[in-house]
Amino acid sequence: MSSLHPETRAVHLPRPDLNGSTPISPPIYQTSGFSFDDPEVFADGMSRPDGAFTYGRHSNPTVRAMEDAVAGLEGGAGAVATGSGMGAISSVLLGLLKPGDHVIAQRALYGGTAQLLADLAARFAVEITYVPEDDPAAVLAAVRPASRLLYLETIANPMTQVADLPGMCGAAREAGLVTVVDNTFASPVLCRPIEHGADVVVHSATKYLSGHSDVLAGVAVFASAELHRRVWSYAVEVGATADPFAAWLVLRGIQTLPLRMARHCANTRALATRLAGHPAVTAVHWPGLPSHPSYDLAAKLLPDFGGVFSFDLTVGREAGEAFMRAVRLARLAPSLGGVETLVMHPATTSHRSLGPAELAAAGIGQGTVRVAVGIEHPDDLWADFAQALGGGAA
Ligand code: PLP
């Protein structure tokens, strides 16, 4: 299987053999537990992430099928599926850190992750140093004896800075740190961080992996069996693991992931390019545009640039709000990665935990609008945006 292209791997997921025939769609094992003939097999299953199925919080065949599918696409040794993306991120951080440890994290982060790190610092005495996402020397300069972990996002939310994964992971390896990369925005179709030296990859599977805005789920993929086992034990302990129906929805979504990503990226290019030429727009933030600070790095690292971009309006917050009220096809809503186009205002929603100085440091303005581009026809999307900006379709 490992020699197959992602498009083929995504479709041909493992299926159970049922007395000589195989279901085309993977079954949902809707059970909280499993019974045994052999107590030793039972005990062994409770103690490791890849043993016999025992109790739903430890393991379930549908959940493991999803874990194996994502681990396969990311090139990892194993995965832990969770009830949400934050469930995956918090399981990894809490499962690997202890009080007094030091974390180096990139400055531009999803707001929920920034909040979690602030909480770890305030309540669990974990120290955090923030560095730019593309500065390996800053990682090495920040390292101290208590440093344990480097945290990155392949494409950051919402200003779409691209992390220098080879450089940053290389610096972390030199310093003996575990590197964790949130690959939600890129998906394994655009980037496989383990190939660039990451130790753990996390996803909000709520987004592109599932792809239809109908499930909350997360997953953490591990380069080594040892990290897999440690985080699995912690996720089981705190009850963060996914349920079989959520895992099944993610598995169903994964089958069309490569197709959807191609359309998300193409639509984003069409919208971002046209908006960049609109008189009401001061800046468009998408790493596929030469004006983006990450453009050169992104062009080297990624085959395409993702389905999320942000843009700034000349008149600031009022203009942003007026735009979000005026769109008819695009919806004003949180989240991203579904088939429909969504718009939102990061400063008052996803990044509301950041103060004015932190927002400014992240480049998020009061007039910044984030767009999660869907798979509709690009001309319909542009017509909607143009009417919402008040200029008509150009
Ligand atoms: N990581 C990124 C990059 C996100 O955008 C999000 C949610 O928007 C999360 C993690 C958290 O995922 P979830 O909402 O599934 O907990």
Using pLDDT thresholds of 50, 70 and 90, give the confidence band for residue 193: very high
Side-chain-side CA neighbours of 364 within 13 Å: the count stands at: 30
| Pairing of the two strands 78-82 and 102-106 | unpaired
DSSP state of 123: H
CB 216 within 8 A of CB 83: yes
> Which residue bears the tokens 């990665």?
337
Can you read off the two tokens belonging to residue 53?
Answer: 């199925």
Higher-pLDDT residue of 356, 267: 267
Answer whether 306 contacts ligand 1 (Cβ < 6 A).
Answer: no
> Ligand 1, closest atom to CA 156?
3
Boundaries of CATH 3.40.640.10 in the chain?
A: 6-254
Can you read off the two tokens belonging to residue 165?
Answer: 């994964």
DSSP 6-26: HHHHHHS-----BTTB--SSP
Answer whether 216 contacts ligand 1 (Cβ < 6 A).
Answer: yes
Q: Is 185 helix (H, G, I), strand (E, B) or coil?
A: coil
Using pLDDT thresholds of 50, 70 and 90, give the confidence band for residue 393: very low
**Distance from Cα 350 to the centre of ligand 1, integer Å:** 9
6-254 CATH:
3.40.640.10
CB 237 within 8 A of CB 88: no
Distance CA 83, CA 341 (A): 24
Contacts of 111 (CB under 8 A, 6+ apart): 157, 346, 350, 351, 352, 353, 354
Answer whether 182 contacts ligand 1 (Cβ < 6 A).
Answer: yes
Weakest-pLDDT range from 35-49, 62-76, 359-373: 359-373
> Ligand 1, closest atom to CA 218?
15
Give nearest CA residue, ligand 1 atom 1.
Answer: 204
Boundaries of CATH 3.90.1150.10 in the chain?
A: 257-388
> Ligand 1, closest atom to CA 206?
15
User: Over 60: is that where the pLDDT of 392 sits?
Assistant: no
CATH topology of domain 257-388: Aspartate Aminotransferase, domain 1 (3.90.1150)
pLDDT digits (tens, 9 = 90+) for 283-323: 999 999 999 999 999 999 999 999 999 999 877 778 888 89
Give nearest CA residue, ligand 1 atom 11.
Answer: 85
**Distance from Cα 392 to the centre of ligand 1, integer Å:** 34
Answer whether 85 contacts ligand 1 (Cβ < 6 A).
Answer: yes
Q: What angle do CA 165, 309, 386 make, to 5 degrees?
A: 165
**Distance from Cα 12 to the centre of ligand 1, integer Å:** 27
Percent pLDDT > 90 in the chain is 85
Answer whether 204 contacts ligand 1 (Cβ < 6 A).
Answer: yes
pLDDT digits (tens, 9 = 90+) for 102-160: 999 999 999 899 999 999 999 999 999 999 999 999 999 999 999 999 999 999 988 99
Answer whether 104 contacts ligand 1 (Cβ < 6 A).
Answer: no
Q: Would you name the residues annotated as active-site residues?
A: 57, 110, 182, 207
Q: How many CB atoms lie within 10 A of CB 277?
A: 9
**Distance from Cα 217 to the centre of ligand 1, integer Å:** 9
Answer whether 157 contacts ligand 1 (Cβ < 6 A).
Answer: yes
CB 140 within 8 A of CB 175: yes
